[in-house]
């Protein structure tokens, strides 16, 4: 079975531009989470989606938005890019709470965004 896939793997943008990152979860996983990992730091929670609804949001500005599609894939959008948005953006899928499982995260390889 395929793991979590993310695209693109690398991209370079300039300040003020907009970016869309994509994620396909593991088959059967209905929950998708997004994390930002700045170099030298731990991943920071951005969003969690389950059944196409936002179930959690981290401390990020409104420039960050996301959505989940009927096939459970997800997109993360960042508008008006700033230099500080340069980071590795990680998508993770999991089985949601209530399934009787503990919901450990399965991560993709990430999308490395560089903002110039």
Residues forming contacts to another protein in the complex (CB under 8 A) are 4, 33, 35, 41-45, 48, 50, 53-56, 58, 90, 92, 96-97, 102-110, 112
CB of 30 to another protein, least distance (A): 12
Nearest-angstrom CA–CA distance, 55 and 49: 5
Q: Which lies closer to another protein via its Cβ, residue 80 or residue 88?
A: 88
CB of 18 to another protein, least distance (A): 24
Q: Which lies closer to another protein via its Cβ, residue 80 or residue 101?
A: 101
Q: Which lies closer to another protein via its Cβ, residue 16 or residue 56?
A: 56
Nearest-angstrom CA–CA distance, 72 and 78: 20
CB of 29 to another protein, least distance (A): 13
Residues 64, 43, 25, 93, CA torsion sign: negative
CB of 1 to another protein, least distance (A): 15
Give yes or no for a contact between 63 and 80, defined as CB atoms under 8 angstroms apart. yes
Q: Which lies closer to another protein via its Cβ, residue 36 or residue 115?
A: 36
With 0-12 / 13-18 / 19 or more C-beta atoms within 10 angstroms meaning exposed / middle / buried, residue 85 is: buried
Instruction: For residue 10, give both structure tokens.
Output: 């690398």
Within 13 Å, how many C-alpha atoms sit on residue 68's CB side?
Answer: 24
């Amino acid at each position: 079975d395929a793991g979590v896939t993310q695209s693109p793997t690398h991209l370079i943008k300039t300040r003020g531009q907009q970016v869309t990152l994509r994620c396909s979860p593991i088959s059967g996983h209905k929950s998708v989470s997004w994390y930002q990992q700045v170099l030298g730091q731990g991943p920071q929670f951005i969003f969690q989606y389950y059944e196409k609804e936002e179930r959690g949001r981290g401390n990020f500005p409104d420039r960050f938005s996301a959505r989940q599609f009927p096939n459970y894939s997800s997109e993360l959008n960042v508008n008006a890019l700033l230099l500080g948005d340069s980071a590795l953006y990680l998508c993770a899928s999991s089985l949601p709470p209530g399934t009787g499982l503990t919901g450990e995260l399965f991560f993709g390889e990430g999308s490395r965004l560089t903002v110039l």
